[in-house]
Amino acid sequence: MATLKFLSFIVVQLFLVAYNCEGVEVGFYKKSCPNVEAIVKETTKHYISVAPTLAAPLLRMHFHDCFVRGCDGSVLLNSTKGNKAEKDAIPNQSLRGFQVIDAAKSALEKECPGIVSCSDILALAARDAVSLINGPSWPVPLGRRDGRVSILSEASKKLPTPFDNFTTLKTTFGALGLTVKDLVVLSGGHTIGMSHCFSFSSRMYNFTGKGDMDPNMDQNYISHLKIKCKPGDVTTIVEMDPGSFKSFDTDYYTMVSKRRGLFASDAALLTNRQTKDYVLSQLNPHGSTFFKDFGESMVKMGKIGVLTGKAGEIRKHCAFRN
């Protein structure tokens, strides 16, 4: 009897795996909602044309979604009376651009109600945001479904931090099936956006707890940053890629090679032979493979832990479960 129960359990598990492994594919909505990509792009373009600085938060939102519970739109869910959601975790409190996702969802609900998931909209908006500020474009496999669970503590534990060393970064990315190359390529997303001073202040004022500076950061650059970022500053924001933070390009790798990456996690790329070689290989913009590599790593990241088939749901409103 026990053996029969065990075999029945195995059959059920295999059925669930088979049921859930349809995966994602380019053109998933070609029959059910053929204009999905055009609608998301038009919506994203509207917002980016008014506020180009929204591109970085939209890209970051997709990262943060995929790194916690997979790319299931859980980062979009609001907290409820009985549950604090990912959106309210400290690393996510600076996310912006939710209105872009909501506007695209609203337009798609009019065009093809109940068909397109919020997680797919986010994946498309991230791609479109990058391409609209002179970055690469890539084919986005679709067919994700939306998760029903979002837990603040999971985001706090699972997201990479600006303070991570290479070993921690490699472990975090590796746990999701991402390689060391994916790590250094996706770090290149720091070519756009802004950061609060507190994300790197310890490198300027108290690196080892003795009131010292990080020797792995260009000392002249630290002096420059200290003008903007005073000790204990929790409100000021600075450009992550000075002079180029609104344009997606290879300048991030130039900054890192000069020991001018803002974060300890940026500096960590110079502590490993493979990532350092990649950084240096991108310094000649005419020989750079970054755009191609970034698209490939984004596709790979976008497949992490996806819900397909009958798993999850298609939310009517991205901030709320059905």
CATH number of the domain to which 121 belongs: 1.10.520.10
Q: Is 263 in the same domain as 248?
A: yes
Model pLDDT, residue 237: 94
Are residues 164 and 145 part of one domain?
no
Q: Is 72 annotated as a binding residue?
A: yes
Question: 297 among the known binding-site residues?
Answer: no
In this predicted structure, what is the pLDDT of residue 284? 85
Catalytic residue among 46, 64, 224, 317: 64
Last residue of a domain, which of 129, 157, 185? Answer: 157
Full residue range of the structural domain in which residue 278 is found: 159-301
Q: CATH number of the domain that 228 lies in?
A: 1.10.420.10
Phi/psi class of residue 272: alpha, beta or left (left: φ > 0; alpha: ψ in -120 to 50)? beta
In terms of DSSP bridges, do strands 237-239 and 194-196 run parallel, antiparallel, or are they unpaired? Answer: antiparallel
pTM here is: 0.91
- Judge whether 62 counts as a catalytic residue: no
Q: Binding site annotation covers 116? A: no
Q: Do 165 and 141 belong to one domain?
A: no
pLDDT at 55: 96
Are 297 and 165 contained in the same domain? yes
218 and 296 assigned to the same domain? yes
Residue 24 · residue 141 · CB < 8 Å: yes
Could you give the CA distance from residue 138 to residue 73 in angstroms, rounded to a whole number?
A: 20
Classify residue 314: in a domain, yes or no. Answer: no
- Report the chain (322 residues): mean pLDDT per 10 consecutive residues: 42 37 86 98 97 95 98 97 96 95 98 98 98 97 98 96 97 98 97 93 94 95 96 93 86 96 97 98 90 98 97 98 94
Q: What is the largest CA-CA distance in the chain?
A: 74
Report the domain count for the chain: 2
Number of CB atoms found within 10 A of residue 144's CB: 32
Q: Please report the pLDDT score of residue 22 as a whole number.
A: 53
The pLDDT of residue 149: 97
Give strand pairing partners of 194.
Answer: 239
Rounded distance between C-alpha atoms, residue 86 and residue 27, angstroms: 30
Do the annotations mark residue 190 as ligand-binding?
yes
Question: What's the pLDDT score for residue 50?
Answer: 95
